[in-house]
Amino acid sequence: MPVSPKFASTAIPSGPNLNLGRERMAPTRTVRSKFAASKSEKSNGSKKSSLGSSGIKKSKPSKGAKAPPPKQQKTRPTARPTKRKRRVYTEKELGLPKLNTITPVGVDLPKGKKKGKIFVDDQESMMTILAIVNANKEGQIESKMMKSRQMEEIREARRKEAEVRQEQRHSKLEERKDSIRRKRNMKTEKNVTSEPLENKERRPQASKSGKKRVSFA
């Protein structure tokens, strides 16, 4: 797109505006030490050279005008000692717990602990470990044995109880059987005693009446 002459003319006035801005910023630069000021000047010079615009020349004289009051610069830094940069701590230095993060077991090592494996190669430490392991195992075996013994006792008691119950049931059954047998015996005995008399009386009748029989030819 070709730049119209109107647009170009409007762009030119921005130069002085820029200059004005530089002039305003100049006091802030002077706040710093002499060395900083000289540095800024240098940098400004380079910038200006690079820009190469018409406004450079106007800014230079302004710099020259500002240079004379160096006494003010010396007094100002003493006036603001509180504005010094405070030390910024990193998160590692603070040791704050991280929020909403999962650290896998073993990755997060405790502070002040030695890194790496601890080898066991001397007899004494091996013997102590073995003693601990042996004690643990014996305890386990003992508890297992105790448990199995208790279970065995419980089972034995239950078995005995069941046996007793079975016997009781059996004896009850026998008693009942006996009683029934006895009853039957009593009846038969009664019948035996009463029968002869009755028989004598009833026999002729019985023989007479008998059972009615029907026979088909």
Phi first, then psi: give them for residue 170, nearest 5 degrees: -65, -45
Structural contact between residues 26 and 62, judged by C-beta atoms closer than 8 angstroms: yes
Kindly tell me which residue out of 123, 193, 205, 209 binds another protein, with binding defined by CB under 8 A.
123
**Nearest residue to 48 (alpha-carbon basis) of 58, 38, 39:** 58
Structural contact between residues 64 and 100, judged by C-beta atoms closer than 8 angstroms: no
CA distance 195 to 188: 10
Q: Rounded to the nearest 10 degrees, what angle do helices 56-66 and 14-31 cross at?
A: 30
129 binds another protein (CB under 8 A): yes
**Nearest residue to 56 (alpha-carbon basis) of 67, 65, 45:** 45
Q: Restricting to residues 162-191, which ones interact with another protein according to CB under 8 A? A: none
121 binds another protein (CB under 8 A): yes
Shortest reach from residue 135's CB to another protein, in Å: 10
Shortest reach from residue 132's CB to another protein, in Å: 8
Shortest reach from residue 167's CB to another protein, in Å: 22
Shortest reach from residue 136's CB to another protein, in Å: 7
Phi first, then psi: give them for residue 120, nearest 5 degrees: -115, 110
157 binds another protein (CB under 8 A): no
Number of other CB atoms surrounding residue 56 within 10 Å: 19
Angle made by CA atoms 75, 77, 83, in degrees to the nearest 5: 145
Q: Restricting to residues 81-120, which ones interact with another protein according to CB under 8 A? A: 117-120
Q: Restricting to residues 47-76, which ones interact with another protein according to CB under 8 A? A: none
| Binding residues for another protein, total number by CB under 8 A | 21
Per CB under 8 A, the segment of 43-51, 124-132, 166-174, 186-194 that binds another protein is: 124-132
Smaller CB distance to another protein: residue 110 or 204? 110
Number of other CB atoms surrounding residue 190 within 10 Å: 10
158 binds another protein (CB under 8 A): no
137 binds another protein (CB under 8 A): yes
Binding site for another protein (CB under 8 A): 117-121, 123, 125-127, 129-130, 132-134, 136-137, 141, 144-145, 148, 152
